């Protein structure tokens, strides 16, 4: 079923005004777009009233055979009494305009109100149910059937004025005519689908819709002569669209000191009243409830007047037209309807969803950063009055977490931060890759001449051995050879950084490796006074990698950590080895050293970047580590706080062959 009200997702601007307004919690937001859960909707139309974007549409009330009936002189219009507020400047012309459109008769729905009023008076006298709830407002009936089914027995089993008028007309004119109801109400459209009016009323239009049909037919209502409604004429039923109209028509008391009879209008008061009745707090015998502030505030009223001016218009119309009613004819019409069945039935069509338990609610609240009472702003931006109410709706799967504005802002902030970090990492990886290319090119070029230098230097060295008094020369040549060797090392490191080295894979225990490195480092003078802690949280610390290269990475990390703690009062080196998954392991090396300045973050893995004194740092340790870890398809990252310390994390696949299959 298409439903009486439908959402237009492309027009929705996510203000959530409709959610705030919807008494049935029938609006579901999916991926930020509001849609209507039709089986929950009570068709009250409050969402239409608040949607400034026109993102809620009323399904047109035109049934297929409406136009045919109109053109063949078979259509009869029943007009709700609030028409006077809708056509406030020319309501006297409405009957003629509708007849000009093609309706053969234009009849006041208020006559239906006259018909049912005595039934209310009777029900009040005889019913054992307390309180009786009026059933003239279809939105109220829908709400009770779906959300207060325990009150279904309280609903008066009497048709609405529209239904009563239609049954009367149908009894006069038979099955061939097409009855169209015209009013301010969207819920009336749902009423003809159920409530025993199926086949009695054929179409339902709002005032706005019929105005469009009139103007589309080229009829200018201002140019039409005034004219009366067709018979049967209505009497006091004309007051129905005003609060208390039913009581007046049924000649029931409207005294404010009268506790037995209560009139309630408007959404929030209606909901409050139904709640009170459900909790047995109300002693009244009869409650007249209207979901809107009188039918003159219905969503299809289409009037530029405010509430009070509309009310005045109705009073003006009632007073004027009552004078013209021939009471005798009216009484005859009423008498002729004595055998009409004006009863109806209501059903329990429960749509309530289970309220999530406390544990689930707390979990939902926590997931939107609202663990404590202090975090719960109850700002209402989501469309719900409190964070708790919102969480309940999320738990009922009728709302999504992203509707919470503070949560969304936090999430956006996080997404922005992570995007920025990723961007920086990408930028730095790109930079390192191009440095790597350059370094590899230079290294290859230098490697050959270096080899030649070393070869000839060793030849010279051997020739010098044969000479007498050659000690000085020999020392000079050995300087050449040492320096060339140093260059060769640098070149090899650069090739490692450029990931152009080769991997000699072995399986080994990474925990044992770290323990061995520490054993070698501890006796060194620069390692004195450092408190070392090594932790393992893995049942399987065996990895497949290039043992020598990984050893170099870990050694570089530990040396840097020790150097960073040179001037620290507390010197703690902690190495934690733990599983990330069955496939990945991480080694975190943290220190309580000087930390890294933010501006240096981007340079840490750049070859030759060092903050150490000349001769102390080469700036290659981290570049080499980066290259080696990348060759292993792993990750190396760090976190640091200046003055507190740094933590470098190396992530490795336990089986490098697996990493290849995952990566390639």
- The reply on whether position 621 binds ligand ADP by CB under 6 A is yes
Nearest Cα residue to 562 out of 532, 597, 598, 542: 532
Q: Which is nearer to ligand ADP, 536 or 559 (CB)?
A: 559
Nearest Cα residue to 438 out of 513, 352, 497, 519: 497
- Euclidean distance between CA atoms 233 and 389, whole angstroms: 49
Task: Find the DSSP H helices in 250-357.
Answer: 267-278, 307-324, 327-336
Stretch that binds ligand ADP, among 157-165, 315-323, 507-515, 619-627 (CB under 6 A): 619-627
Stretch that binds ligand ADP, among 41-49, 266-274, 313-321, 560-568 (CB under 6 A): 560-568
> Tell me, what DSSP letter sits at residue 310?
H
Stretch that binds ligand ADP, among 263-271, 386-394, 508-516, 592-600 (CB under 6 A): 592-600
Exactly one of 21, 123, 265, 591 binds ligand ADP (CB under 6 A); that residue is: 591
Q: Output phi, psi for 539, to 5 deg.
A: -85, -10
Q: How far is the CB of 500 from ligand ADP (least distance, A)?
A: 18
Peptide bond into 498 cis (omega under 30): no
> Tell me, what DSSP letter sits at residue 352?
-
- Euclidean distance between CA atoms 51 and 541, whole angstroms: 61
- Euclidean distance between CA atoms 596 and 156, whole angstroms: 78
- Euclidean distance between CA atoms 112 and 115, whole angstroms: 5
Q: How far is the CB of 439 from ligand ADP (least distance, A)?
A: 14
- The reply on whether position 254 binds ligand ADP by CB under 6 A is no
Residue 604 binding target from ligand ADP, Mg ion, none, CB below 5 to 8 Å by type = ligand ADP
Q: Which residues bind Mg ion (CB under 5 A)?
A: 560, 621
Exactly one of 77, 151, 382, 561 binds ligand ADP (CB under 6 A); that residue is: 561
Q: Which is nearer to Mg ion, 364 or 553 (CB)?
A: 553
- The reply on whether position 117 binds ligand ADP by CB under 6 A is no
Stretch that binds ligand ADP, among 330-338, 447-455, 511-519, 611-619 (CB under 6 A): 611-619
- Euclidean distance between CA atoms 63 and 178, whole angstroms: 10
Q: Residue 287 in 3-state DSSP?
A: strand
Q: How far is the CB of 619 from Mg ion (least distance, A)?
A: 8
Q: How far is the CB of 519 from Mg ion (least distance, A)?
A: 20
- The reply on whether position 28 binds ligand ADP by CB under 6 A is no
Q: Which is nearer to Mg ion, 347 or 612 (CB)?
A: 612
Residue 612 binding target from Mg ion, ligand ADP, none, CB below 5 to 8 Å by type = ligand ADP
Residue 596 binding target from ligand ADP, Mg ion, none, CB below 5 to 8 Å by type = ligand ADP
The residue number whose beta carbon is nearest to ligand ADP equals 621
Residue 593 binding target from Mg ion, ligand ADP, none, CB below 5 to 8 Å by type = ligand ADP
Q: How far is the CB of 618 from Mg ion (least distance, A)?
A: 7
- The reply on whether position 575 binds ligand ADP by CB under 6 A is no
- The reply on whether position 435 binds ligand ADP by CB under 6 A is no
Q: How far is the CB of 522 from ligand ADP (least distance, A)?
A: 18
- Euclidean distance between CA atoms 457 and 473, whole angstroms: 11
454, with CB counted inside 10 A (0-12, 13-18, 19+), is middle
Phi/psi class of residue 51: alpha, beta or left (left: φ > 0; alpha: ψ in -120 to 50)? beta
**Residues 280-303, buried b or exposed e (16+ Cβ, 10 A)?**
eebebbbbbbbbbbbbbbbbbbbb
- Which residues here bind ligand ADP, judged by CB under 6 A? 556, 560-561, 564, 591, 593-596, 604, 609-612, 617-623, 646
């Amino acid at each position: 079923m298409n439903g009486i009200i439908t959402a237009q997702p492309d027009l929705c601007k996510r203000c959530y005004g409709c959610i705030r307004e919807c008494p049935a919690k029938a609006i579901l937001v999916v991926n930020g777009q509001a849609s209507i859960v039709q089986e929950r909707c009570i068709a009250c139309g409050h969402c239409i009233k608040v949607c400034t974007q026109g993102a809620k549409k009323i399904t047109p009330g035109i049934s297929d055979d409406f136009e045919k009936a109109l053109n063949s002189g078979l259509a009869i219009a029943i007009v709700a009494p609030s028409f006077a507020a809708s056509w406030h400047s020319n309501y006297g012309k409405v009957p003629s305009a509708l007849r000009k459109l093609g309706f053969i008769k234009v009849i006041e729905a208020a006559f239906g109100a006259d018909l049912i009023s005595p039934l209310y008076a009777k029900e009040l006298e005889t019913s054992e149910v307390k309180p009786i709830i009026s059933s003239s407002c279809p939105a109220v009936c829908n709400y009770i059937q779906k959300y207060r089914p325990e009150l279904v027995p309280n609903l008066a089993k009497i048709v609405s004025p529209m239904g009563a008028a239609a049954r009367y007309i149908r009894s006069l004119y038979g099955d061939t005519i097409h009855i169209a109801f015209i009013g301010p109400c969207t819920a009336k459209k749902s009423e003809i689908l159920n409530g025993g009016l199926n086949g009695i009323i054929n179409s339902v239009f709002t005032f706005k819709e019929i105005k469009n049909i009139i103007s589309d037919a080229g009829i200018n209502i201002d140019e039409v002569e005034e004219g009366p409604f067709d018979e049967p004429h209505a009497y006091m039923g004309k007051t129905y669209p005003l609060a208390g109209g039913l009581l007046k028509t049924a000649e029931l008391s409207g005294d404010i000191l009268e506790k037995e009879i209560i009139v309630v209008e408007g959404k929030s008061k209606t909901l409050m009243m139904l709640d009170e009745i459900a909790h047995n707090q109300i002693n009244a015998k009869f409650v007249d409830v209207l979901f809107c502030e009188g039918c003159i505030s219905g969503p299809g009223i289409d009037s530029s007047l405010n509430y009070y001016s509309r009310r005045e218009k109705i009073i003006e119309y009632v007073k004027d037209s009552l004078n013209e009613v021939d009471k005798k004819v009216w009484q005859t019409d009423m008498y002729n309807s004595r055998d009409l069945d004006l009863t109806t039935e209501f059903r329990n069509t429960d749509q309530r969803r289970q309220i999530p338990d406390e544990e689930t609610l707390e979990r939902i609240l926590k997931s939107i950063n609202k663990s404590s009472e202090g975090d719960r702003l109850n700002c209402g931006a989501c469309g719900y009055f409190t964070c708790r109410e919102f969480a309940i709706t999320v738990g009922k799967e009728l709302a999504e977490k992203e509707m919470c504005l503070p949560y969304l802002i936090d999430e956006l902030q996080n997404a922005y931060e992570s995007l920025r970090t990723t961007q920086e990492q990408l930028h730095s990886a790109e930079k390192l890759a191009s440095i790597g290319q350059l370094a590899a090119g230079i290294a290859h070029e230098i490697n050959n001449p270096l080899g030649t230098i070393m070869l000839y230097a060793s030849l010279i060295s051997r020739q010098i051995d044969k000479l007498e008094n050659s000690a000085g020369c020999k020392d000079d040549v050995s300087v050449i050879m040492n320096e060339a060797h140093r260059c060769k090392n640098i070149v090899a490191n650069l090739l490692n950084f450029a990931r152009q080295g080769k991997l000699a894979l072995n399986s080994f225990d990474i925990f044992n490796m770290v323990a061995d490195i520490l054993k070698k480092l501890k006796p060194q003078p620069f390692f004195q006074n450092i408190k070392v802690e090594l932790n393992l949280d893995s049942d399987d610390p065996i990895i497949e990698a290039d043992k020598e290269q990984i050893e170099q990475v870990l050694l570089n990390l530990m040396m840097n950590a020790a150097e960073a703690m040179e001037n620290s009062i507390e010197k703690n080196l902690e190495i934690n080895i733990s599983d990330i998954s069955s496939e990945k392991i991480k080694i975190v090396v943290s220190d309580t050293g000087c930390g890294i300045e933010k501006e240096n973050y981007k340079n840490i893995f750049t070859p030759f970047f060092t903050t150490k004194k000349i001769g102390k740092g080469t700036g290659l340790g981290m570049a080499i580590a980066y290259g080696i870890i990348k060759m292993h398809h792993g990750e190396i990252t760090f976190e640091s706080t200046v003055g507190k310390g740094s933590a470098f994390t190396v992530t490795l696949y336990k089986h490098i062959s697996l990493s290849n299959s995952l990566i390639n």
